[in-house]
A and B are shown apart, each in its own frame.
Chain A
């Protein structure tokens, strides 16, 4: 079951994890991108912590999406912002939802990310962690583990989207920073749903 308080707890936990891992995310991005993923997401999730409030899970997620879009910059701001906004739209104004409905909302968020960014699984992006995590959550499985596995699988991939794609095969051997931050989001989600 997800209500407004638990949704906010998810985002707060995510912000803590992003903050703690900001240097690691930036290091991953320096290797194959432009070295600002951790800095940008930390700024974005500080805004989420300050602004993501509301009486329903949908309202909290919509405010989180807007905060990310307004504060983050780069590609990750619009992409994560769209993930939360589309999930919020799917949830409507229900004061609480069961896990099956919440899973459908996460799937809507993933679809929004893929439409906006144009990435498929295997392109070495956040989608490689988000997609298996959303599937696992819907099946009642371990979404955090699925996201972590998806993140680790990006190491052997050749980037086809985003700034790492300019490197072509020189991107092989590096974990995608977007997949790494997506895994943190699901680690945070599982920390508030499994107790």
Chain B
């Protein structure tokens, strides 16, 4: 294992220390592991969090137009209720707080306990569970679909709605709608390595790839020979379109998993666009880059969201965070 770290045990603290120094506009409490910005009184605030190792998710999305707070856990381990509650309390502006939670058992349970603590303190909480990954089949017999790329879209669009002064119920409804209109599918060429473990989550031969991966180093649905970008895009989009008919205008996120050259992500984006436009689907908005990563995994995920005029306007609204900024 070769990493730019001091020790695995100090990784999260060291990374937060650097994040704080690089982004002085944000409040970073390294000891309590929360990243916050000041709430606007009378407005809804957004809090998200989850295991570390998916940077820039979630701390990189704290800022005007998006999240008010992020609570990073240990690598691939959910944050704890007291930590989430501290973040919720710090950013409560009196109009309620939306918790954006990826659908993993640990995240869901810890955020549920944190919501009870907030309720005890008189802070109104709404929760949106993001579960966009179509690679998880038989979802009634599993913990349900995983939350992946659509998390960025939920946080951006719901954040814009909160910035507009919408009430908690409306912000939560918009967040739910974004999740319902989004689907994702991921592939890996090489697994990432958790620093405390020291070896990759799974091993692929030089000519193999993994289809239907998650973002925690868990194996995917199946293994196959490495394929051209065109076939990988088609395989992912076939799985997405089989689950949600694609039509009209869409937003496409081609997301790098942390160890993929941006050049290759643009190759994938070209193939995704060609596939969609050949079927009469117009790519109206796009995002290409590393947004929901899995440490140093090589590969990508493709997220497609069916747009409405309202969702497109909220996507276009100004945002100013470490990882996403435009329009200000």
Contacts and interface: CB of A to CB of B under 8 A. Distances in A.
Nearest to B214: A166
B185 to A, nearest CB: 14
B77 A40 contact: yes
B126 interface: no
Interface residues of B, number: 32
Given A36-B77, A163-B216, A168-B137, A73 B142 contact: no
B17 interface: no
Nearest to A160: B141
Interface string B75-104: 011111110000000000000000000001
B143 A69 contact: no
B316 interface: no
Contacts of A74: 77-78, 106
Contact of B109 (A71, A75, A165): A75
Contacts of B197: 30, 35
Interface string A66-103: 00011111111111000000000000000000000000
A40 B110 CA distance: 14
Interface residues of A, number: 31
Interface string A27-47: 000100111100110000000
A161 B143 contact: yes
Binding site secondary structure of chain A: helix
B218 A78 contact: no
A163 B74 contact: no
A117 B112 CA distance: 11
A167 interface: yes
B289 interface: no
B216 A34 contact: yes
Contacts of A78: 81, 106, 109-110, 112-113
Nearest to B197: A35
Contacts of A116: 109, 112
Contacts of A75: 78, 105-106, 109
Given A73-B77, A74-B77, A168 B109 contact: no
B151 to A, nearest CB: 17
B137 A73 contact: no
A54 interface: no
Interface string B40-83: 00000000000000000000000000000000011011111110
B215 to A, nearest CB: 10
- Among all A-B residue pairs, the 4 with the closest Cβ atoms: A165-B142, A78-B109, A74-B106, A75-B105
Given A162-B143, A163-B105, A166-B146, 5 more contacts: A30-B197, A35-B194, A162-B105, A165-B143, A168-B138
Interface of B: 73-74, 76-82, 104-106, 109-110, 112-113, 136-138, 141-143, 146, 194, 196-197, 201, 214, 216-219
27 contacts: A33-B218, A34-B201, A34-B217, A35-B201, A40-B77, A69-B80, A69-B113, A73-B73, A73-B110, A75-B78, A75-B105, A75-B106, A75-B109, A77-B110, A78-B109, A78-B110, A78-B112, A116-B112, A160-B141, A162-B143, A165-B141, A165-B142, A166-B214, A167-B218, A168-B138, A168-B141, A170-B219
